[in-house]
Amino acid sequence: MTPKTIGRPTLILVHESEAACRRRLAAAGFVEPCISEITSYLAQSTDMEPEFGMLERACAERGVAFRPIALDDAPASFQDCDPATTLVWTLTDGIAYFRGGAAPALARLYGLPTIGADDSVSALCQDKFRAGSVMRALGLPAPAAGLARGGEWIVPPPASASGYFVKPNRLGAKIGIWEDSRCASPAGALELSRRIHAHYRDDAIVQPYVDGRNVRASFLSVEPRAGMERLGICFVDSGSDFQTMADSMALYGETGTRAREEGSRSEPRLHAVCGVQPRADRAIRDIAARLIGGLGLADVFSMDLRVEADDIVHLIEFEVCPGLPCFDFRAYCLENWGLELAEAMAATAANRLIRDPSLSAGEAHRSMP
């Protein structure tokens, strides 16, 4: 066995590429355009790769080595790492179409400390129906939901005078797929579930439609003991009620890169919630703190919410591997930490590996209040 790499503190960034996922989907019998739609959820890997050089330099300035590792190479790479000087950061997640959720579990297998919540939470947040059930059990304002599989109810949804919102249960963390993802009746929801099953071979989560504006809450604990004062909470105004698959593909990954080069890319506008609805801002910070205490969210995460005009807050989803190179997370790093993305990531790693010896790297994910 190769001797373990001992010595210089090292940040390992594990990522699954769109190309690798595309090959696996094709081998499994998926066809276009579904392959491109599904793999677009790995856009953070595509968008991050050109910045590996910047991240390496930012880490080096702080005394940390940087190693980006493709997910398939992680098992062989991990067995050579020293837990005392290594920190693993998982860039891409997934338990169904994608496999990034295996990275935190592999790190635990080899005794390597990680940035972020533990592997059980990484798996939970990828199943919207189960995650919603747990959030409601914790008393959080997550909409009740039904679950359908190819036109058949597994769990019927609650009655809803406002209609329903229907989306794949395990495909990424979008707030919608098609323009007609909102429907009026359970029968319409079942029809959408048939389309979802035909396109993506997935169950459909069916939630009562909730009114309000879309909100993204982002968090990165650059300093290990950072609290909810560092949570960034913004309205995300795109000009539409919810984001569709087409909207997402126009912003990120290979399609987003082409749109940017052609000058056709238009990013949603971000507005701080605290300046408009301070009560809702405080409620969202309380929700995040309860997710930390109840589920063990740590270090880096995001939440998608809907906020009504009277400050009623609905927690739609949470993510433990948010899209770091996305426009909203970059804006968060600048606004809340005064750092570009690469600098914020490097500082986060250095603060755990070097600056705060009172926190062993293995305990860093449990350091938040």
pLDDT tens digits, one per residue of 254-289: 655 555 555 555 678 999 999 999 999 999 999 999
> Could you tell me the pLDDT band of residue 96, with boundaries at 50, 70 and 90?
confident
* pTM, rounded to two decimals: 0.89
Can you tell me the mean pLDDT for 71-85? 95
Q: Is the pLDDT of residue 366 over 60?
A: no
Q: What is the pLDDT of residue 179?
A: 79
Tell me the one-letter amino acid at 137. Answer: A
178 or 116, which is more confident: 116
Domains belonging to the chain, first-starting first, are 10-124 (3.40.50), 144-208 (no CATH), 213-337 (3.30.470.20)
Q: What is the pLDDT of residue 217?
A: 98
Looking up tokens 């929801």 gives: 189
Q: What is the pLDDT of residue 358?
A: 45
Can you tell me the mean pLDDT for 3-11? 72
Can you tell me the mean pLDDT for 206-219? 95
Residue 336: Cβ within 10 Å count: 18
Q: What is the pLDDT of residue 172?
A: 63
CA distance 369 to 367: 7
Q: What is the pLDDT of residue 279?
A: 98
Check: CB of residue 255 under 8 Å from CB of residue 334: no
Lowest mean pLDDT among 43-47, 157-161, 275-279: 43-47
Q: Is the pLDDT of residue 369 over 50?
A: no
The SS3 assignment for 52 reads helix
Q: What is the pLDDT of residue 57?
A: 98
CA 259 to chain centre: 23
